[in-house]
Every structure is written in C-alpha cells, then in structure tokens.
Amino acid sequence: MPPMRPQRGKTPRKRNGTNGTTQDPVEVYCRIRPLDNPDDPVCIKAISSSIVQLISNENSTAFARTGQLKEYQYKFQTVFDEYTSQKAIFDYVALPLMEDLIHGKNGLLFTYGITSSGKTYTMTGTPQDQGMLPRCLDVLFNSIGHYQSKKYVFKPDKMNGYEVQSEADAMMERQKKDIIPGIIPGTPGNPRKEKTDFQVDSGRIIDPSKITDIDEDNTFAVFVSYIEIYNNYVYDLLEELPFDPITGYKPPQSKILRTDAGDSMYVMSCTEVEIKSPEEAFEVLYRGQKRRKVAHTSLNAESSRSHSIFNIRLVQGPLDIRGEEVLQDSDRLCVSQLSLVDLAGSERTNRTKNQGDRLKEAGNINQTLMVLRTCLEVLRENQKNGTNKMVPYRDSKLTHLFKNYFEGDGRVRMIVCVNPRAEEYDETVHVMKFAEITQEVLITRSQQVKFDIGLTPGRRRMNEQFTETVAKAREADIEPSLLPSITYSLGAGFPNFELLGPDDNMTLARLEDYLQDRYERRQTLQIDLESRIDQFRNRLVEFERDYTRLMARNDELENILNRRDSNVTKVESKCRNLESRVSTLQQQLNETEKGKRELELKLQDKTLRLKQERSEKDRMEKDFRTRIETNNNHWERILDEERQKIEKEYGIQLKKQAITMNKLRDVLEENTFKTPVSTSVKTRTYTTPGMIQTARSESDVSSIGSIPTPTPRNRTNSAIPTARPVQGLNRQGATVTPVTTPRSTPIYNFRHRRSRSNNEVWLDHKPSGSVALDTVLQPSLPRKKSVTKLDEKDTKVATKYMLTHQEHGSDGEFQTKYFKGSVIPTSGGGAQVVFDDVEVHKQTSPGTRKRRSSCPQPTDFDGEWTDTETRCAVAIEGHSKKRSRPSPERVSRV
C-alpha cells in the first residue's frame, strides 16, 4: 500500500461561532426601485455610492407634526440606484456568499422593505433578468459541474444530517425511484414528478459566473428545501400532500423547529430534494411558488403574505485514496447552507385598507418584523454595553430559525429595498432606522474550513488520468496490467512461501526472485523519488523566488493603492460637500423659481384686472360724456329754474329779516343811554363764500343781548372805511345799509353757532413755528388732536379740521387765520375736507384818544359813526378816565 499522511482530524460538519476571534458587522445594502413614472416626486435619492438622502414632503406625518421639511442621510455598505442591474447586485452581494458556500461556510441573505418595494423581484427576477436565487443556482452548478456525486450517494437522515451510501446502494435506490418502469410521472402517488403550471423558460439567460477555487478531491451533492412562515406557522412547500379522490389534496400541516446534534435549528421532517442541474432546481422552486401564500392588496397586485425561505445545502465528501468513491464515513462530510429569505413587506392598515384574513396576515407580518428588530436591538445593546440580556429569539419562528446565524454561524447580508415615491416617506423612515440598527450588530467570523484529512491531494486527477490511459490502451489493444502503476508500490503482497521440507529449493528460489524483484522495485522507486524530490526542490526554489518578487511588488502596489485610496477619500469628501451644496442651491433655486412663478401669476392677474378696470372706466367715462353732451341743455334749464326758486325763497326770508331788524333798531335807539357799555369790545367778522359779509360786536352789557346788523362786504379783510356808510347785499341780493347811529350797542352774528356735539374730533393742523397771540378769545375745540405734518391716517379718526395760518394783513398788522371744515369720507376709502368757515384773529392798538367822562357822549365824536371798531375804541376810551387800558381784540371770522 502507498504511504499515507498522518491524519489531522475530522472535517467539522458544524462550526460554532465561538471558534473565531474576529467580528464583522452585518452587511446591509440599499437598492432603490425605479419609478413607474419618472416625473413623480421622490423622497429618497442616492448622493454617493454609500449614502442616501431621505427628504420629507408636505404630505408626510413628520411635516404635519413639526411643520418643517427635514432631510436625513443614511450610510450603507453600498447603495444601488435605480439604474443598477441585477447582475451587478448579484456579483457584489451574493457571489461572495456562494464562494463561502463552496468553501464550507454558511450564509444568510434576506431582502427587507415595505410592500411594493421590489423585494421579490430582487430575489427571483424574471427569466430574462434573473434575481439572486436563480443566479446562485447557475453559479453553483457552473462551479461543481463534473465534481458532483451520483444521485442518492448522500441521503438525508431526517435530523439535519446526511448519510453516505455505497455505489451499489445508490444504484439500487436510483433504479427503484427513477428507472424502474411503472411509476408514471404526474400521478398523485408521485408528487415529486407532478407536473406544474410553471415551466422552465427556454429563453432564460444563464449566468456564466464560476468559482474555480474548489477542492477537486471532494465530491459534491446539492439539496434544496423550500418553506414559508405564514401567520407564525412553518409550512413545507415541497411536502407530499395526501391525495383523496373525492376532496383532492389535503391541506398541509405546520412543522416544528428542532435542534440538531450541533445545536443548530432546523425544520423537522422538511422535504429536501437532491438536484443535479439548475433546471431541476427551478422546477422545485416553481412548484413551491405555486403553493406560496400571495394575495391582492391596494399596494401590490401579488403581495407576499408570508416569509419564504429557500435553502441551498451543499454536501461535500472526500474521495478515497484512489480517488474513485466517497469515503464511507459520515463524520468526514462537510455540510454548508445558504438561506435566501424573501421577507413579506411591512404595511399599515390605513394605507392597504385590509380586512378579514388580509388584516390578520398584515398583523402577523408586522409582528414578526417587530420581533426581528427587537432581537437586533438587544444584540447591539449586549455588544455595546457588555450586558447579557436574553435575546427573544423564540418570540417568532423566523428569528428562532435563524438564531445560529446571528450568533456567529455564518455571514449575514441584507438588501434593503426602497420605493422612492414621495407617498412612501413615512414607511421608508422606519425601514432606514431598522437598517441603521442592523449595521451595528456584530457577527463572529467563522474559521476557514480545512478539507485536508491526511490523504494524498490530487487523487481525483490521478484517477482520471489513469482511467484515460487505460481507455487509450484498450483502444490500442494493450493489456492494462502492463501499464505502470499510478501509485508507488513494491509489488504484490508476499506469496505463500511455506517450505515443504529442508530440500524445498523451489520455494526458496521463488522467495529469492520475489525479494530480488522487490529490491529492484525499491531501487527504481528510490531513484524516481529522488528525481521527483529534486524537481520539487527546484520548483520550490523557483516558487520561493517568484513569491519574494511578488511580495515586493505587492507591497509596492499596496503603497500606491493606499495613496490612491487616500486621494479618493479626499475627493469623495469634496464631492459629497459639493453635492450637498449643489443640492442646497438647487432647492433654493426651485423655491425661487416657484416664488417667481407665483409672482408672475399674481402680476398677470393684477394686469388683467387693471385692464378690465381701465376698460370699464373708459366705457363709463364715454357713457357719462355722451349723457352730459346729450342732456346739457336740459340740465341748464333745470338749474336755472332751481336757482330762481331758491332766490325767490331767500328774498322773502330777507325781507322778513329786514322788517325785524328795523324793529330791533328802533328799540335799541330808545335804550341807548340807559345801557352801560363794557370796557371789553370784541369784533368778529363772518364771511360765507358767495354771500355778504356781516359783522357783529359783543359787549359785556347787563341787560342787552346780541343783536345782528348788516355790515358792508369786505373781501380783503381790511379795516372798514369811516368816511361814509357802506351798503351790502343780503342773501336775496337786496341792498342793506348799515346803521350809523353812534349810540348803537355792539351786536354779533347769531347765524353762526359752535357745535356742542361730544362725538366731534378736531384735527388741529398747526405748522411748526406758529406764534401764539395770547388773546382772550381762542377757538373752542373740546376734543382735538394737534399735528404739525398732516398724514393720511390722521384724517381717519377726525370729523373736523382746522388749519392755522399766520401773516401780515394789508394794514400791516399781524393776524392769525383759522380755516375750519368738515372731514368727509370718500368712496375710494380716503377722506376730503370741505371748508365752511374761516376765523381771523387780529390784534390792534386802542389809540391815544382820551375820554372826558365815564360814559360815551355823542359830542365826543367829531365825525359820523362809520365803523364798529371806532365806536368801540371811543367807548373804551371814555370809560378809561385817562388811565391806560388793555387793547381791545378784534376777531374776524371769514
């Protein structure tokens, strides 16, 4: 027999996570689904190869709660935008998991996201654009190819393990299940061959990827299982259902979870199908998908109502020393598993409007996802704080089944699928937070599995070469026994050399020949061994030299790569900053353009309204002009009639007043010498626009009141001439001659009267720099507001208006004029002032005339009484008794 290497131990069938010392975080990737309508608003976008930006909108709950539009950024292992192909995602995410599977390591890949985010499409895809699962099967069979064992050599033991059968037993089982006629495909008794509505598409595009780094001295077998977790119950989608001729297939029964000898969770009595090609795997996949729970919702026409788990288990067994058959030892097997999980989408009832069974399904889906998030949060807390809280794996069948993965029994990867529509913002926020938590969970890295069990490597290749040589020898009619052995051997075993007697020279001769042949063989093998040792030494020296050179080159390239990585990091940082600024500026530009459009619309509306108003005004003006031109003569005639009527009415009134005045004059003449005259004389002059000027004198007398008398009209507000009487016109135009009796008592105009209303508010407009006359008589303004500069808002609260004006009169005296009027609101929202009174305050000297007696006498005057002012001056001078008196005031109101 050939020499064997010392045995290094058994290949572990299960690997515990505690064997490794390095921890890696859960790798989370983000994929953004393409929009059905590219013009729809989005809530998420990729700003770099590893960062996405989440933007709220006005319809989101966050905006309704805070009233602000917020932006968040989340970092992933890699971000795949809507233009990334299925092939690129597979090469980046799933292909490393396939390498681990062939190298004996476990892996878990699951898709997570809301309903209609593209999870099922990412996992399965279409025949023309396959997803992760079909591509994994293609790569697996492309890699193991002709290294597969014959069917039924490895057989499941129903306890998550496998047994090894001999070639003879495997052949018997193949004949029993696949070759022996009588089992017709499609009958209920053989559901494994049952036809399905799903057929493998002949136009399927096969992934050409292949893993070359495999152990050629092992033989491989692939087993698949397909289960689903529905309403927190586990169902086998490949189970052979009992068939009843009346009722048909019976409903499936839920399975339970168990722990195997390696402390790993598995589904008890789960159907595992051995497959030899991707087509057989697709047939199994389609048969399971036909029984999977899907339903129509308002968000997705075929929404997954359960979590589906497709397990690919790869069994590797070492070949024997000749490289022909598998070692009949189950402990030498290595079993690795890749679980591809398509999680059901999280959804809210207020959006899906689910009822009945759909509502119950949604509740169980959300509950399972909630438990998954809780387990990850507790794991993260235990790792960060060093606590030892119990992780609630058993609260959900999904987390209970994958407990070993999160405790270090394989690599875990997750693809977060995102629907970028703006309406999905509230749901996407929760998905991003879950992804953020998941990336902080650390998983212990498993050790590299060693398949070297002490046998000579290259056994399979040597056996293939020998088989090929034998086949060629048979074709050339060469006896196979004459061919050199492919192994080092000293020949056949010792024959029977039992001596028959002392003279048995024949047996001794055979023994001598056998030993001589064995010695020659040994010498030949020794020479060949030395030759091979020399060749190996030369190759080893060459390899060492190449290794040293490549190591130096590798160090050089690593330095260059580090510098480039540093530069790339700096450039990426600058790019992110610039992209952030560009995004901010773009947002400001959008807001500015939006405001500009709004202002343009407002301007257009205002311009249109102005045009309409201008057109309406032009039309009305034209209409008014036409009416005025048409009815001009008619209005003139009516106005003439009204003017004549008013003049007639006021003429009658003036006549009556003239008669009354004559009577009062007679009474005053009789009582002239009986009434003392006051020393204070005040004169007021009233003028109404278009009417005569009248004067009145107020005198502090004890028994005589105010009696009006007509005075001449004075347009210049100057002193009245004293040479002769002046005649004026009354309201009816009649001539009125003032009385020139020197002994008459001062009178006042009884037609003017101050308003005593408490609701009047006066606006006293007095310019800055006005000089106060400090006279006794001042304008009486009960409620007033004094201003120096008139403003529009001041006229809104005032009902009366008074303007103060100071100047030098025509006689050279300084006088103050008070222009009074009423404030009347206008139809346009403003106010206008209608002046109806002017009050003039003037201060003059009382003169130097001395009085001889205390009472004025008619003989004290040289001329005629022509002026009220003169009479008042004389009367005051007569009462002064040669003493200095204060100057009388003259107040004129126009």
198-208 pLDDT tens trace? 445 557 888 99
| 627 found inside a domain | no
Provide the pLDDT confidence category of residue 891 given band limits of 50, 70 and 90.
very low
Q: Residue 195: pLDDT above 60?
A: no
Min mean pLDDT across 117-121, 470-474, 655-659 is at 470-474
Min mean pLDDT across 251-265, 350-364, 553-567 is at 350-364
The arithmetic mean of pLDDT across residues 114-125, rounded, is: 89
| 496 found inside a domain | no
117 annotated ligand-binding residue:
yes
119 annotated ligand-binding residue:
yes
Q: Residue 732: pLDDT above 60?
A: no
How far the first Cα of the chain sits from its last, in Å, is 149
Helix (H) or strand (E) holding 133: helix 132-144
Q: What is the pLDDT of residue 293?
A: 62
Q: Residue 754: pLDDT above 60?
A: no
Domain of 655: which CATH number?
Answer: 2.60.40.4330
Question: Among residues of the chain, what percentage have pLDDT more than 90?
Answer: 26
Highest average pLDDT, of 20-24, 623-627, 649-653, 726-730, comes from 649-653
| 497 found inside a domain | no
DSSP code per residue over 398-438: HHHHTHHHHTTSSEEEEEEEE--BGGGHHHHHHHHHHHHHH
Min mean pLDDT across 332-336, 474-478, 566-570, 637-641 is at 474-478
Domain of 309: which CATH number?
Answer: 3.40.850.10
Provide the pLDDT confidence category of residue 76 given band limits of 50, 70 and 90.
very high
Whether 284 and 393 map to the same domain: the answer is yes
Between 354 and 751, residue with greater pLDDT: 354
Provide the pLDDT confidence category of residue 491 given band limits of 50, 70 and 90.
low
Q: What is the pLDDT of residue 24?
A: 84
Whether 268 and 303 map to the same domain: the answer is yes
Q: Which of 444, 473, 499 is the last residue of a domain?
A: 444
How does pLDDT run across 582-621, given as a tens digit for each residue?
989 999 999 999 999 999 999 999 999 999 999 999 999 9
The rounded mean pLDDT for the chain is: 75
Q: Residue 823 and residue 762: Cα distance in Å, rounded?
A: 9
Q: Residue 241: pLDDT above 50?
A: yes
Q: What is the pLDDT of residue 375?
A: 92
Q: Which of 391, 413, 444 is the last residue of a domain?
A: 444
Cβ proximity of 754 and 780 under 8 Å? yes
DSSP code per residue over 700-733: --SS-----EE----SS--PPPSSS---EE-TTS
Cβ proximity of 289 and 306 under 8 Å? no
225 annotated ligand-binding residue:
no
**Tokens in use for 226?**
């397909």
Whether 394 and 463 map to the same domain: the answer is no
Q: Residue 726: pLDDT above 80?
A: no
In which order are the strands placed within the sheet that holds 71-75?
Answer: 44-46, 51-55, 71-75
Q: Residue 122 and residue 634: Cα distance in Å, rounded?
A: 93
How does pLDDT run across 209-232, given as a tens digit for each residue?
999 888 888 999 999 999 999 888
The arithmetic mean of pLDDT across residues 636-654, rounded, is: 87
The arithmetic mean of pLDDT across residues 674-696, rounded, is: 36
Q: Residue 410: pLDDT above 80?
A: yes
Rounded to the nearest 5°, which phi and psi values hold at 564? -65, -40
| 643 found inside a domain | yes
| 508 found inside a domain | no
Whether 417 and 470 map to the same domain: the answer is no
What is the residue whose two structure tokens read 């938590």?
A: 437
Q: Residue 444 and residue 22: Cα distance in Å, rounded?
A: 6
Whether 182 and 261 map to the same domain: the answer is yes
The arithmetic mean of pLDDT across residues 345-370, rounded, is: 63
Q: What is the pLDDT of residue 720?
A: 35
Q: Residue 763 and residue 67: Cα distance in Å, rounded?
A: 48
Provide the pLDDT confidence category of residue 780 given band limits of 50, 70 and 90.
confident
| 36 found inside a domain | yes
What is the residue whose two structure tokens read 């070759």?
A: 179
Q: Residue 860: pLDDT above 80?
A: no
Whether 343 and 475 map to the same domain: the answer is no
Provide the pLDDT confidence category of residue 837 given band limits of 50, 70 and 90.
confident
The arithmetic mean of pLDDT across residues 106-118, rounded, is: 90
Highest average pLDDT, of 16-20, 143-147, 857-861, comes from 143-147
Tell which residue, 869, 764, 873, 773, has the closest CA to residue 819: 764
Whether 439 and 460 map to the same domain: the answer is no
Q: What is the pLDDT of residue 693?
A: 33
Between 855 and 642, residue with greater pLDDT: 642
How does pLDDT run across 302-315, given as a tens digit for each residue?
456 688 999 999 99
120 annotated ligand-binding residue:
yes
Q: What is the pLDDT of residue 632?
A: 78
What is the phi-psi region of residue 194: left when phi exceeds 0, alpha when psi lies from -120 to 50, beta otherwise? Answer: beta
How does pLDDT run across 136-194, given as a tens digit for each residue?
999 999 999 889 998 899 999 888 899 999 888 888 888 888 766 444 444 444 444 44
30-40 as b/e, with b when 16 or more CB fall inside 10 Å? bbbbeeeeeee
The arithmetic mean of pLDDT across residues 552-578, rounded, is: 92
- CA dist 887 → 393, 655, 774 (Å): 114, 38, 12
Whether 404 and 472 map to the same domain: the answer is no
How does pLDDT run across 449-490, given as a tens digit for each residue?
767 677 778 888 887 887 787 788 778 777 655 555 555 556
- CA dist 60 → 64, 298, 434, 757 (Å): 6, 19, 19, 62
Q: Residue 46: pLDDT above 50?
A: yes
| 499 found inside a domain | no
The arithmetic mean of pLDDT across residues 736-746, rounded, is: 41
Q: Which of 415, 444, 473 is the last residue of a domain?
A: 444
Whether 32 and 81 map to the same domain: the answer is yes
Q: Residue 760: pLDDT above 80?
A: yes
356 annotated ligand-binding residue:
no
Whether 727 and 769 map to the same domain: the answer is yes
Rounded to the nearest 5°, which phi and psi values hold at 262? -95, 15
| 370 found inside a domain | yes
Q: What is the pLDDT of residue 298?
A: 44
Q: What is the pLDDT of residue 133?
A: 94
Whether 465 and 439 map to the same domain: the answer is no
Q: What is the pLDDT of residue 359?
A: 56
Whether 668 and 736 map to the same domain: the answer is yes
> Across the chain, which distance is largest between two alpha carbons, in Å?
214
Q: Residue 679: pLDDT above 50?
A: no
Q: What is the pLDDT of residue 750?
A: 37
Helix (H) or strand (E) holding 194: none
Q: What is the pLDDT of residue 251?
A: 78
**Tokens in use for 198?**
């799903």
Residues of the domain holding 75:
25-444
- CA dist 628 → 264, 632, 876 (Å): 108, 5, 60
Min mean pLDDT across 233-237, 671-675, 717-721 is at 717-721
200-217 as b/e, with b when 16 or more CB fall inside 10 Å? eeeebbebebebeebbeb
Q: What is the pLDDT of residue 605?
A: 92
Between 277 and 781, residue with greater pLDDT: 277
Min mean pLDDT across 180-184, 409-413, 711-715, 825-829 is at 711-715
Write down how long the chain is: 894
Q: What is the pLDDT of residue 414?
A: 94
pTM summary value: 0.54
408 annotated ligand-binding residue:
no
CB under 8 Å to 290, separation ≥6 — which residues? 196, 197, 198
Q: What is the pLDDT of residue 880?
A: 38
CB under 8 Å to 162, separation ≥6 — which residues? 154, 155, 156, 315, 330, 333, 335
Q: What is the pLDDT of residue 790?
A: 78
118 annotated ligand-binding residue:
yes
Min mean pLDDT across 365-374, 598-607, 694-703 is at 694-703
In the chain, how many domains are there?
Answer: 3
Q: Residue 21: pLDDT above 60?
A: no
Helix (H) or strand (E) holding 813: none
Between 534 and 851, residue with greater pLDDT: 534
Q: What is the pLDDT of residue 136?
A: 95
